[in-house]
Amino acid sequence: MGGGTDLDEAFRFLCERADGGDFLVLRSHGDDEYNRYIQKLCPLNSVATLIIPSRAAAAEPSVAARIRGASGLFIAGGDQATYIDFWMGTPVQSELNAAIARGVPIGGTSAGLAVLGEYAYSAQGDKPDDPNLDGKTAMADPFGPRITLVHGFLDIPILKGIITDTHFAKRNRMGRLLVFLARLNAAGSNDKRVRGIGVEERAAILLEPDGKGSVVGHGSAYLVEPQRFPSNIGRGTPLTGAAFTVQKVGPGHSFNVRERRGDATTYTLSIEKCTIRSTQPGGAVY
């Protein structure tokens, strides 16, 4: 889910695949407000929230045991920097990936979606009073200190080679996702191109292990793939000379992540000197 108001349909999708077992919500801060909401929606054996607010907490054997016993997992919104800082390289990460390997369904919203891909924007360079990292800011300096990218937090097979982004249209994040992709694909160390998925608020992608997915809710999902790489990308140099293919999938429509095709509106975005131009009718500029 891209953030904003939670979607009943998305939780029902996860609950059905949890097969009536024990559903566990994970977060680094907050409360157990999800428990009652999910219990009303789904016939489950139990619903619980596990708050893991430090690396010390992530090392507690009881935390690993609780994740190991879950039949469904959901990472709440919040601050993805804390998920990386507190959980990466701990038993929490190990147990999450072991659960995924067993076929336990997993989802997330906002920050929880941001960490589901093989690559993730970690927000570890953000200060508490920093404004939203929008597209213009990111494109002005693709290697700025706030653009922190991590690899391999979660190992979800169908999201290999993918980085996700959230609150997509409302917070003007297309430009920053293009920067993430330019950075990752310019590294020269990938066997295949890294692709992006952006999800709008109040929208969700319901994704099966075989790659078949559908968009539900009140917004769209965007599947973004590099088409032309920038000739020069470096610290302090505005992004230019890049092009990307976008498939915009609206609510009620489906696509296949593995086959890279679906019921979508397809167009090209090109970047010249921090300005994004679209081949859509009207030539929208971001």
| Rounded distance between C-alpha atoms, residue 63 and residue 76, angstroms | 16
pLDDT in tens, 43-94: 999 999 999 999 999 999 999 999 999 999 999 999 999 999 999 999 999 9
User: If DSSP codes are grouped into helix, strand and coil, which group holds residue 276?
Assistant: strand
Find the domain containing 93 and state its range.
1-107
What is the pTM (predicted TM-score) of this model?
Answer: 0.95
Q: What is the rounded CA–CA span in Å between residue 67 and residue 22?
A: 10
Q: How confident is the model at residue 188 (pLDDT cuts 50, 70, 90)?
A: low
Here the CATH number for the domain that contains residue 37 is 3.40.50.880
Give 266's strand partners: 247
Across residues 261-278, what is the average pLDDT?
A: 93
Q: What angle do CA 87, 164, 170 make, to 5 degrees?
A: 115
Residue 195: pLDDT band with limits 50, 70, 90: very high
- The pLDDT value recorded for residue 230 is 82
Instruction: Give me the mean pLDDT over the 195-214 stretch.
Output: 97
Residue 38: Cβ within 10 Å count = 22
* 44 backbone dihedrals φ, ψ, rounded to 5°: -120, 160
- For residue 192, the model assigns a pLDDT of 65
Given this model, what pLDDT does residue 161 score? 96
Taking residues 3-7, report their average pLDDT: 97
The 10 Å Cβ neighbour count of residue 156 is 17
For residue 27, is pLDDT > 90? Answer: yes
Q: How confident is the model at residue 254 (pLDDT cuts 50, 70, 90)?
A: very high
Same domain, 100 and 37: yes
Q: Are residues 136 and 226 in the same domain?
A: yes
Same domain, 22 and 100: yes
Q: Are residues 66 and 156 in the same domain?
A: no
Query: Residue 245: is its pLDDT beyond 90?
Result: yes
Query: How does pLDDT run across 50-63, given as a tens digit for each residue?
Result: 999 999 999 999 99
- End of a domain among 107, 135, 155? 107
First vs last C-alpha separation in the chain: 23
Q: Are 203 and 216 in contact (CB under 8 A)?
A: yes
| CA within 13 Å, CB half, 101 | 9
Give pLDDT, residue 191.
52
